[in-house]
Amino acid sequence: MRLDEKLARVSDASPAIDSQRLLSLCAGKPDVLIQCLELLIAEVASNRLQVDQALAANDARALGVGVHNLRGSMSLIGAAQARDLAAAIENDVDAGDVRTVANQWQKLDRELNQCMANVRALLRALDEPEAHF
């Protein structure tokens, strides 16, 4: 099965991410896509930890950077809902309004769970033995 077909199949079942964006990111190369997704999983985990720690420490600068990084990662893979939630939090942090962030962060955290589940499903699909590119 070709990479674009495999991506389309997985993204039909995982609408949180955009298969066309993923194809663009790797220029159609499956090995690059696998590397990108593995890096993404590590980056998102690190940024989620940064946001959790920043919220606990009431550190607006670290919170802003962590959320901004998540916004960037979600933009690149076309995860529109997660991207928009991150952008809303980032704008509130920039405006100095951090009162609602904890609530918004819970929503984003749930959406990130969904996206990362989709990414892992995609990685499994890319590892399937019938994958011939």
Partner 1 sequence: MKPELSGRTIKIATVDDHPMTRLALKTVIEQHPQWQVTDEFSTPDAFQASLRKSEPDVVIIDLLFNEGSGLDLVEYLKAFHPSIRCLVYSARTEKHYAERCLRAGAHGYACKDEPIDVIPEAIERVLKNDVYLSPQLTRRITETFVRRQQQNPAASDEQAIESLSNRELEVLQLIGQGYNTKQIAESVCRSVKTIETYRYRIKKKLGITSGTELAQYALVHREGINADAAR
Structure tokens at 16: 């949180």
Considering only residues 20 to 39 of the shown chain, the ones binding partner 1 according to CB under 8 A are 20-21, 24-27, 29, 32, 35-36, 39
Sequence-distant (≥ 6) Cβ neighbours of residue 111 within 8 angstroms: 16, 79, 81, 82, 85
Considering the complex, what minimum distance in angstroms separates the CB of residue 44 from partner 1? 9
- Residues 112 and 4 sit within 8 Å (Cβ to Cβ): no
Which is nearer to partner 1, 82 or 130 (by Cβ)?
A: 82
Per-residue contact string for residues 72-101; x = within reach of partner 1 by CB under 8 A: xx-xx------x---x---x----------
Residue 105's H or E segment, with its range, is helix 101-127
Considering the complex, what minimum distance in angstroms separates the CB of residue 101 from partner 1? 17
Which is nearer to partner 1, 65 or 125 (by Cβ)?
A: 65
Calpha distance 117→123 (Å, rounded) = 10
User: Each residue of 11-35: b (16+ CB within 10 Å) or e?
Assistant: beebebbbbebbbebbeeebeebee
Considering the complex, what minimum distance in angstroms separates the CB of residue 129 from partner 1? 25
The one segment of 7-15, 65-73, 98-106, 109-117 that binds partner 1 by CB under 8 A: 65-73
**38, 51, 40, 58: which is closest to 99 by C-alpha?**
58
- Which residues make up the interface to partner 1 (CB under 8 A)? 20-21, 24-27, 29, 32, 35-36, 39-40, 42-43, 62, 64-65, 68-69, 71-73, 75-76, 83, 87, 91
